[in-house]
Amino acid sequence: MAFTLPLSPAKTLTATITQFPENPKTLILEQCKTTKDLNQIHAHLIKTRRLLNPTIAENLLECAAILLPEPMDYALSMFYKIDEPTSSAYTIMIRGFTLKQSPLEAILLYKKMRENSVEPDQFTFPCILKACSRMQALSEGEQIHAQIMKCGFGSYMFCENTLIHMYAHCGKVEVARRVFDGMSERSIVTWNSMVAGYTKSGYWEDVVKLFRKMMELDVRFDEVTLVSVLTACGRLADLELGEWISGYIEANGLKGNPTLITSLVDMYAKCGRVDTARRLFDQMPRRDVVAWSAMISGYNQASQCREALDLFHEMQRANVDPNEVTMVSVLSSCAVLGALETGKWVHFYIKKKRMKLTVTLGTALIDFYAKCGSIDSSVEVFERMHSKNVLSWTVLIQGLASNGQGKRALEFFNLMQEKNIEPIDVTFIGVLSACSHMGLVDEGRSFFVGMSRDFGIEPRIEHYGCMVDILGRAGLIEEAYQFITNMPIQPNAVVWRTLLASCKVHKNVEFGEESLKHLVRLEPTHSGDYILLSNIYASVGRWEDALRVRSQMKEKGIKKTPGCSLIELDGVIHEFFAEDNVHPFSKEIYNATEDMMKRIKSAGYVPNTAEARLDAKEDDKEASVSHHSEKLAIAFGLIKTAPGTTIRISKNLRVCTDCHNATKIISKIFNREIVVRDRNRFHHFKDGSCSCNDYW
């Protein structure tokens, strides 16, 4: 400006204000950039008594409350000195409090404003409604809605827009929609508020419906709209609409918006197009923590857990700090892979960075430890969590049950009810599997009946499966069979397989044959089922029949699925298949296995069980332990670990009787604690015995 004097900025400013007393507003707002400016202008205006001018006072108040990132104290001290604050002074203060994360103060001040009989105006209402949204203060919001109507601002668009936002934020999407429908005129803010409202409540179908309506009515939408719609497409697996939006983004040059691209990545991953998602992710010039998290969670949800962990390591090399959301997906992948060391490191990192242990993160940790067989750590995390929800309890109960601690699982279930936490359907899967572990048949029956009677939860196929397991394991094979035939829903392969497995344990040929009939119909190529029946025949000495089933398998071209084990060493996951000679450690393992077998045999163990003998006849060579991949992994563990250490093996196939017995002996003669994960059940071997006493 021409009149600028060579003084300090503030002095320059006070000089200009003196020169233009009639219009100080823009000057104050434009020039007041720092706290120092504010102090000097404030002092000057007091000295010249011009703060008594209400307009000037309000402008300065706006600087302190809104423009500068000051705490509200300064503005408040100024506000108190105003004799009779007008509604605009109150509005400035309400806005300031909401902006500076003190919506409660905003609401209290609004109450005071009403007590002092100051009439709110059309500017006050949107501001105070925003504070209500933040606080999720529904009843206050409703009162303000009534006041808006009384004051005649009911069809004022800014008020209506904020009403939509407030209702949606307080969980009243339907009311928000009513406000929306009642509007005679809508802006893009109106539509986006409604879309965001549906998004917040997870009403994905409504998001898409509303978006289609926007297109139908030729309403303008923007990037914010598209982000919400893409999120909805991902949740609904609506790839068609997702791809259309993708094309729109391309055609309209919106690819520079990282948030938009992240939601595209998320959409593609959730629709099963993980590779497309990855290509987009790789093309992003800058990736923030959310972009990385979206891609990692994409891999995790697509069951590509190794890729998820690889990407997590890449993220660290790229020096992007993960947040608690990232960690949830990472832990979930660790749980699937049984990657205890990696997951433990994640836990350590969470503590070191003082990350907030949210309910979700805590629950992911509980689940991770449980699925890695470290059930004590699960309980420890659970006990330390400040807030828990039904899923935290459920995951813990399931974890205890699958780790052979059925009694503790039921104790936690009782405790949960004492705390008035309503169980969900999954909770009962944990409870019922705890019963099957402990052979609690009557309790199992009564939980099964009680879940629908007392909690209104209709049993799903999984619950029926649990009941079959309970009855079958307890030797009540015929009752289990009757239970299946009386089920109100169609039994699936898992249910019949459960029965078949208990027929194996109890050497029941009749119902074993019956189960296989159904299994052949439902899943004709599932090799494990034939093997199970073949082993049932073998266990009662019917070798001819046993071999007949095996040759039937061959005729049908069904191959035995190779056993597969995962073992983590120094944070690296090694994957071994039975008869593996590809893995670089194969030779080493083979030698160790041979050596191990010698020692096992000299300790008095003879591998003489049915499956081993059958395999021997089939392959025309002596049954050796080496074809059981878990034993490969154990051998691998033995050569790499010191006595006394725990060896952990994650498996995705059943542990056979043969290897179960062998592992017991190994744990004793090699002095190792061995944790074997057989799908989602655990066997803790120590000192020659196993935690599961119901299984073999």
Q: How far apart are the two ends of the chain, measured CA to CA in Å? A: 91
Kindly indicate which of the ranges 9-17, 328-336, 508-516, 565-573 contains the residues binding DNA, using the contact rule CB under 7 A: 328-336
8: Cα separation from own chain's centroid: 55
Cβ neighbours for 392, distance < 8 A, ≥ 6 positions apart: 359, 362, 363, 366, 382, 385
CB of residue 216 to DNA, shortest distance in Å = 20
Q: Is 126 in the site for DNA (CB under 7 A)?
A: yes
Q: Is 395 in the site for DNA (CB under 7 A)?
A: yes
Which amino acid, 397?
I
3-state SS string for 419-432: CCCCCCHHHHHHHH
DSSP state, residue 572: E
Q: Is 103 in the site for DNA (CB under 7 A)?
A: no
For DNA, the binding residues in 396-415 under the rule CB under 7 A are: 398
Give whichever of 335 and 531 is closer to DNA, judged by the CB atom. Answer: 335
For DNA, the binding residues in 295-324 under the rule CB under 7 A are: 297, 300-301, 323-324
Strand partners, 564: 577
Give, in order, the Cα–Cα distances in Å from 494 to each of 500, 504, 515.
10, 15, 11
Q: Is 162 in the site for DNA (CB under 7 A)?
A: yes
Give, in order, the Cα–Cα distances in Å from 77 to each of 55, 73, 80, 124, 206.
17, 6, 5, 21, 47
Q: Is 122 in the site for DNA (CB under 7 A)?
A: yes
CB of residue 9 to DNA, shortest distance in Å = 24
- d(CA 416, CA 397) in angstroms, rounded, equals 10
Give whichever of 426 and 592 is closer to DNA, judged by the CB atom. Answer: 426
Give whichever of 325 and 674 is closer to DNA, judged by the CB atom. Answer: 325
Pairing mode of beta strands 646-651, 673-678: parallel
Tokens 């209702």, located at residue: 167
Cβ neighbours for 135, distance < 8 A, ≥ 6 positions apart: 103, 104, 107
Q: Is 165 in the site for DNA (CB under 7 A)?
A: yes
Q: Is 137 in the site for DNA (CB under 7 A)?
A: no
- d(CA 636, CA 592) in angstroms, rounded, equals 7
Give whichever of 422 and 595 is closer to DNA, judged by the CB atom. Answer: 422
Q: Is 151 in the site for DNA (CB under 7 A)?
A: no
Kindly indicate which of the ranges 151-159, 443-451, 515-523, 585-593 contains the residues binding DNA, using the contact rule CB under 7 A: 151-159
CB of residue 130 to DNA, shortest distance in Å = 4
> Which of 291, 435, 451, 536 is in the footprint of DNA by CB under 7 A?
291
> Which of 10, 208, 233, 294 is in the footprint of DNA by CB under 7 A?
294
- d(CA 264, CA 280) in angstroms, rounded, equals 8
Give, in order, the Cα–Cα distances in Å from 303 to each of 145, 269, 282, 329, 642.
48, 11, 20, 11, 33
> Which of 130, 177, 497, 651 is in the footprint of DNA by CB under 7 A?
130
Pairing mode of beta strands 689-690, 681-686: antiparallel
CB of residue 292 to DNA, shortest distance in Å = 7
> Which of 57, 175, 364, 662 is in the footprint of DNA by CB under 7 A?
364
- d(CA 345, CA 85) in angstroms, rounded, equals 57
Kindly indicate which of the ranges 41-49, 254-262, 546-554, 570-578 contains the residues binding DNA, using the contact rule CB under 7 A: 254-262
Q: Is 106 in the site for DNA (CB under 7 A)?
A: no
- d(CA 565, CA 630) in angstroms, rounded, equals 6
Which amino acid, 28?
I
Q: Is 228 in the site for DNA (CB under 7 A)?
A: yes
CB of residue 618 to DNA, shortest distance in Å = 37
CB of residue 368 to DNA, shortest distance in Å = 9
Taking alpha carbons only, the member of 269, 275, 214, 206 closest to residue 239 is: 269
- d(CA 545, CA 516) in angstroms, rounded, equals 14
Taking alpha carbons only, the member of 434, 382, 387, 445 closest to residue 411 is: 434
> Which of 266, 568, 611, 615 is in the footprint of DNA by CB under 7 A?
266
CB of residue 145 to DNA, shortest distance in Å = 15
Give whichever of 75 and 625 is closer to DNA, judged by the CB atom. Answer: 75
Q: Is 358 in the site for DNA (CB under 7 A)?
A: yes
> Which of 16, 389, 645, 646 is in the footprint of DNA by CB under 7 A?
389
* Interface size with DNA, residues (CB under 7 A): 69
For DNA, the binding residues in 406-465 under the rule CB under 7 A are: 424-426
List contacts with DNA (CB under 7 A): 95, 122-123, 126-127, 130, 133, 156-158, 161-162, 165, 169, 187-189, 192-193, 196, 199, 222-224, 226-228, 231, 234, 257-260, 262-263, 266, 288-291, 293-294, 297, 300-301, 323-326, 328-329, 332, 335, 358-361, 363-364, 367, 389, 391-392, 394-395, 398, 424-426
